[in-house]
Amino acid sequence: MTAPDLDTLVGRTTGLQPWRRLFHAATGSLVAGILLYADVPRAVAAGILGAVLGGLVVLDVTRLVSPGANALFFRAFRTLASPREARRPASSTWYALGMTLAVAFFSPEAAVSGILVLALADPAASYVGQRWGRRPLLGASLEGTAVFAAVAFAVLGARHGLLPGAAGALAVALAERLSWPLDDNLTIPVVAAAVVTLIPGA
């Protein structure tokens, strides 16, 4: 598989990517639901998520050192992959790492909140920003960031109260914009879980 062929496959993943956003939301919501209702011990949940993370790391290393494997990845996951993943770890790897750290280091209540913010706020902000974003803000758009903060506040405020919700929404919206060189799929659940753990009323 030559570089131009890979570039062609990567180019097909541009656009609004509705299935990618749906998968993003569904995955986090499913994990949060299992943590809430299945009564899985935290160590077991962290271990399972860690195992998934390990498999994703192996996949990333394989495809990033093999153009053929990378091309196969973009062919198989055309509706889920993103152009930025062509030469860097996939968003799903960062996503799994963020959930694993949230579950391993925070209470189940805080971890679930962080995962729900990741699952719901991030794809909503991405869609609004790409579709209607007009005013630039920290590398994205004011409109998308405002939607991110609103969804984060709805999640955190409903679960932890107004003060933790407001503080968490502000902190995680900034973290989402200032994550580089890390990925926001890592920083969002960790920052959200940390804030609702530290702020009184959480």
CB 142 within 8 A of CB 161: no
Residues in the chain: 202
pLDDT digits (tens, 9 = 90+) for 93-143: 999 999 999 999 999 999 999 999 999 998 998 888 788 867 766 667 788
The confidence score (pLDDT) of residue 131 equals 80
Strand partners, 141: 136
Cα separation of 109 and 119, whole Å? 15
Amino acid type, 68: G
Query: Which tops the pLDDT comparison, 99 or 12?
Result: 99
Cis peptide before 181 (omega within 30 of 0): yes
Question: What is the residue-averaged pLDDT of the chain?
Answer: 90
Cα separation of 62 and 39, whole Å? 35
Percentage of residues in the chain having pLDDT higher than 90: 64
CB 52 within 8 A of CB 16: no
Residue 202 has pLDDT above 60, yes or no: no
The confidence score (pLDDT) of residue 17 equals 81
Q: What DSSP state is assigned to residue 66?
A: -
Cis peptide before 200 (omega within 30 of 0): no
pLDDT digits (tens, 9 = 90+) for 166-189: 999 999 999 888 877 789 999 999
